[in-house]
Amino acid sequence: MEEYDYIFKLIIFGDGGVGKTTLTQRYLTGFFDKGSRLTIGVEFFVKTLEVADKKEKLQIWDFGGEERFRFLLPQYCRGTSGGIFVYDVTQELTFNHLTAWLEVVRANSRNIPLLLVGTKADLELKRKVMAEEAINIARANKMSGFAEVSAKTGQNVESVFKTITQLMVKRANPPA
């Protein structure tokens, strides 16, 4: 029998096509899966890790992001311990949609840690969103952190999941 100190539900959200599934797969398998297909509704993955001398089980909910499935978001937010909002650094619109996504997630979850994550950082020549701008937006929206990642090179992939897990552990153990 496996035992965990914590079981966390983590939701990955943001527009379709930004790289949510690819990022999740890179984290789970260590490989860049170019042939990723459209996520219908939501996909669910499990990963165990050890952070802060504790054993955590992450239930990762990869929310498709397609407009026609948005109505499902409120119910998928229930019981979430943390969230990662993903945008594509080469598509400004996916970044501009942050506040609309945040509104729904915050309205349907408790005060959870949320990270702002820009993907496809390997596509430097196509970049539209600057890191400085994203850091400011993350602060303005009271998010818990920001990082740029690449599922292709693996840049920051592990650390993003480690960071959100640390934040979820912290939130589960409020100071006395």
**Residues near ligand GDP, by CB under 6 A:** 16-22, 34, 36, 39, 65, 119-120, 122-123, 150-152
Binding to Mg ion (CB under 5 A) within 12-51 occurs at: 20-21, 39
Q: Which residue is nearest to ligand GDP (CB)?
A: 19
Angle (CA) 100-42-91 rounded to 5° is: 45
Distance in Å, CB of 140 to ligand GDP, minimum:
24
Do the strands 42-51 and 54-63 form a parallel or antiparallel pair, or are they unpaired? antiparallel
Extract the tokens encoding 48. Answer: 């165990």
Provide, rounded to whole angstroms, the least separation between the CB of residue 171 and ligand GDP.
Answer: 26
By CB under 5 A, is residue 94 in contact with Mg ion? Answer: no
Would residue 17 be called left, alpha or beta, if left means φ above 0 and alpha means ψ between -120 and 50 degrees?
left
**Shortest approach of ligand GDP to residue 66 CB, angstroms?**
8
Rounded Cα distance between 23 and 19, Å, is 6
22 binds, among ligand GDP, Mg ion, none (CB under 5 to 8 A by kind): ligand GDP
Give the separation between CA 64 and CA 141, rounded to whole angstroms: 23
